[in-house]
Amino acid sequence: MMRAVVLLSGGLDSTVALCWALHQGWEVSALAVSYGQRHGRELSSARAVARSLAVPLHRVCLRLPWLGVSSLVDKVKPLPRVPLSRIGRGGIPSTYVPGRNTVFLSLAASLADSIAARAIVIGANSLDFSGYPDCRPEFARAFERAARLGTRVGAEGGRIRVLAPLQRLDKAGIVRLGLRLKAPLALTWSCYAGGARPCGRCDSCRLRERGFEAAGVPDPALTAG
């Protein structure tokens, strides 16, 4: 059975990506990275999602002092609020965390190399990528090549793959795929802010809300509370 490492933030996208990997019949290890986000709510969701799917969760804490430039890390910086139609069109937003997916994928590559996994799965998707350069398909392909050359698995002839199964889906498509795969969507957290309930106002909340609306189902994370 092929092993795969899935990057799990505890959000909607990575949870659906995790269920997709399980659906492939792979032996999945999840990897959650704490990098000093504004709040720990996402990571609690990652733990709950992994537990509900009986998937082992590896957790890495890292503190990168220079990440204070991002409003997703520095609580003093205001979160951006732009019209939904303009998300992804106004350049790179303040929530961009420099090199985040490069770091995440490298940690996943290190874990994959340790357990001889052949696939790294990430929930990146381009339609709502909000201008993040490290969510682009060409980045994932370039990283895949680096991971093949820079690992034992790759050097010994294995083909590590970097897979972004949600790449072509919009939020409604991700919700529909999640429903089809019986993903524990009620346990996921997308809000950029912390708190007991999603703020409903940040970019991430509004994209999620629109996704559930378009899929024609209520958001179970809102009704569950």
* Interface positions with a second copy (CB under 8 A): 58, 60-67, 69, 92, 96, 98-103, 105-107, 109-115, 133-134, 136, 138-139, 142-143, 145-152, 154-156
Cα–chain center distance at 184 = 15
In the bound state with a second copy, the residue whose beta carbon lies nearer, of 96 and 192, is 96
Nearest to 57 by CA among 98, 108, 1: 108
Smallest distance from the beta carbon of 88 to a second copy, in angstroms?
Answer: 13
Cα separation, 194 vs 177, in Å, equals 26
Sign of CA dihedral 62, 65, 71, 75: positive
What is the DSSP-derived secondary structure letter of residue 79?
A: P
State which amino acid sits at residue 50. A
Smallest distance from the beta carbon of 130 to a second copy, in angstroms?
Answer: 13
Nearest to 56 by CA among 24, 8, 101, 12: 8
In the bound state with a second copy, the residue whose beta carbon lies nearer, of 50 and 187, is 50
Smallest distance from the beta carbon of 186 to a second copy, in angstroms?
Answer: 29
Nearest to 222 by CA among 186, 194, 182: 186
Residue 159 CB neighbours (<10 A): 10
In the bound state with a second copy, the residue whose beta carbon lies nearer, of 109 and 187, is 109
In the bound state with a second copy, the residue whose beta carbon lies nearer, of 29 and 190, is 29
In the bound state with a second copy, the residue whose beta carbon lies nearer, of 154 and 178, is 154
Smallest distance from the beta carbon of 81 to a second copy, in angstroms?
Answer: 21
Smallest distance from the beta carbon of 141 to a second copy, in angstroms?
Answer: 9
Smallest distance from the beta carbon of 15 to a second copy, in angstroms?
Answer: 22
Half-sphere exposure of 139 (CA within 13 A, CB side): 20
Cα dihedral 13, 102, 148, 32 in deg (nearest 10): -50
In the bound state with a second copy, the residue whose beta carbon lies nearer, of 34 and 210, is 34
